[in-house]
Each structure stands twice: as structure tokens, then as C-alpha cells.
Amino acid sequence: MAANLANVVSYYCDLLLLQYKWQTRARANIAIYSKQAVGDLVIQDIDAAFNINTAIGVQLDTLGKYVGASRNSGPPEDLPYYGFWDYLITIPSGQNTNGFRDYTDTAINASAVFYNYSDYGSRNTDLTDAAYRLLIQLKIILNSNNGTLASIQDYLHTFFPGLVALTDNADMTMTYTIQQGTPLPAATLEAFLPKPMGVGLNFVTMMAAFSSSTLTKTVTGTTPSTTITTTTPISVTVTDGVGPYSYNWQLLTTSGATEGYVTSVGNQGESLTNFFRIAQLDTTNITTWRCVVTDSRGLTAIASPLTVTLAYLSPP
């Protein structure tokens, strides 16, 4: 560190104009500043601040300015104004959740603004940091690729592994498959994805769906406990994916009983899943599950939650 510090001090002192270069006080003054910068890791902090993967807020705005991508590129939506709500009620879907409410919820008021008369009729088009970071990376690809399929695929693999996949349809069209839940709005994403000159583009999103949203089984008996297993399996259908698929089941909510699932593979890689629980007599357990499906390209899709109700009751 001492050698590095000495080199930094010498480097910056030698940058002085000729008439000051060998002035003792001038060199001492520059030495103080350079030592402080190195000692406080200012140089490293600046480097991290303008790294596309770590930059936030105005740092991303600066990077976007250099590559030619504006944060104001999202679809118009209502500004997140503050409002007044009774903290005991459930706010209807799609309505403003900002305001003087529950301070324990960090998502509330994260980006809220006070209403200003000049905002009348305004719509917000600012992207969040996560979406804007993705947009800047796409603009870098637009600026840098040479228009060939290989170049575009190489950039997509570098910047967006498992997020966007590109297929050449061999008919002067290409298809972009987008991972479900991508932070950038679909319309904006489509506008910034690159394509060779004269080639048409198709856009699809890989989706997953359960064969049913609910699964119920009731068993009667007299023993203190038994194992209940469903016999009608739930299947997961994937659209716009490329097999083989992997299926990751996740338990979202439960009343605490012992439960699990058993999965087998059906035709064309289809997942067939039954659920079980070790149940006590006269108890009903309701659980919710979700399934995250990953295809061979690393794209993922999440099926809407599945509700499983397993009951063990005494005979009527």
C-alpha cells in the first residue's frame, strides 16, 4: 500500500504545470489531496458508482446520458402521489397505496411525491433503477453489435443470461423469448432489442400454468393420524419454452402440518405432481404452492399460486 500510495502521490504531483511542478508547497498541497483520495478509497468509490451493475439513481442517469438512453422511456402511468388512507383497510387493487399509512412497509412511499399544480394532467414515464439499468444495457448492445445474429446472441448471453433468448426462424424473421417478470415493460423492451437490417421480429413471453388452481381431498377415519395423498395430479403447462424443463416447487403458506409433494414426468417432459400431508384426526390443512419452471435456455416462468386443501375427518 505504501508503494502504491507513493506512486499515486508522485503521479499527481508530476501533473502540475511546469511553473509549479518543482515548487515545494505546490507539490505538498497536491500530495495531501492525493493521499486523502487514496486513503478514503474515493477512486474505488467513483469506479463503483459508475459501474452499470452497481450504479443507482443519478449515477444511472449519467451512464444513460453517455449511451443515449433516457430514463423517461417507460409507458405513461399515474404519478405516485401521497394520499390519506385508513391503515386498517385493504387498498383496492390498482389504487394509490402511497400516503401516511403503515411505516413498517418499506415499499410504501418509496417513490411518492407531493402533488404540485404544475403536475396537473401529467403522467410518469420514469423507469425504476432496475428497469433503467436493463434499458442502458440494451442500448449498449444496440450501439455495439454489428447486426449479425452471432453478435446479438453473444451480447445477450453476456448481459442477460437467462433473461432473453433469441431464435432465428430461417425465414427473415427472428423471435425473442422474454423471461416472465422482466422488470422492463414489454413495449419498451421490444423497442430496444436489436435486430439485423430487414429482418422481422416476433416477441413472446414464456409462461407457465397449472391444470387447475385448486386441489382438494378429504379422507375419513378413526385412527389418530394418517397420511393423505392426492390422486389427481396437477400438471404444469409451459408455453414458448424449450425443453427439457426443471420444476422447482415452493411452499408459500401453510398451517404448519407436515406436508410435501411427489413429482413424476409425463409426456413431453410434463410435470405431474401429487401432494401429501401427515394429518391428525379432524383437521383440515390449506396450503398454497407455486412452481418455478426453468427451460433449457435458463428462462423461467412462474405459474399462479395453487391452493391444496387436505382434510382428515371422523365419519359422519
pLDDT in tens, 84-120: 555 555 655 556 666 665 556 666 666 666 666 566 5
Same domain, 218 and 286: yes
Report whether 63 contacts 48 (CB < 8 A). no
Specify if 60 maps to a domain.
no
> Which residue intervals of the chain are DSSP H helices?
2-13, 18-21, 24-39, 42-49, 58-67, 129-144, 149-159, 186-192
Angstrom distance (rounded) from CA 223 to CA 315: 11
Question: What number of other Cβ atoms are within 10 A of residue 216's Cβ?
Answer: 14
Quick check: 39 pLDDT over 80? no
Give the residue numbers spanning the domain of 19. Answer: 2-47
Domain boundary among 153, 175, 205: 205
Instruction: Give the pLDDT of residue 19.
Output: 87
Same domain, 194 and 219: no
pTM exceeds 0.85 = no
What are the tens digits of pLDDT across the range 300-309? 999 889 999 9
Specify if 70 maps to a domain.
no
Peptide bond into 80 cis (omega under 30): no
Instruction: Give the pLDDT of residue 1.
Output: 43
Give the count of domains, the chain.
4
Angstrom distance (rounded) from CA 273 to CA 214: 13
Same domain, 304 and 232: yes
15 versus 4: the higher-pLDDT residue is: 15
Average pLDDT over the chain reads: 82
- Residue 282, domain CATH: 2.60.40
Quick check: 135 pLDDT over 70? yes
Specify if 61 maps to a domain.
no
pLDDT over 90 for what percent of the chain? 31
Q: Band the pLDDT of 282: cuts 50, 70, 90.
A: very high
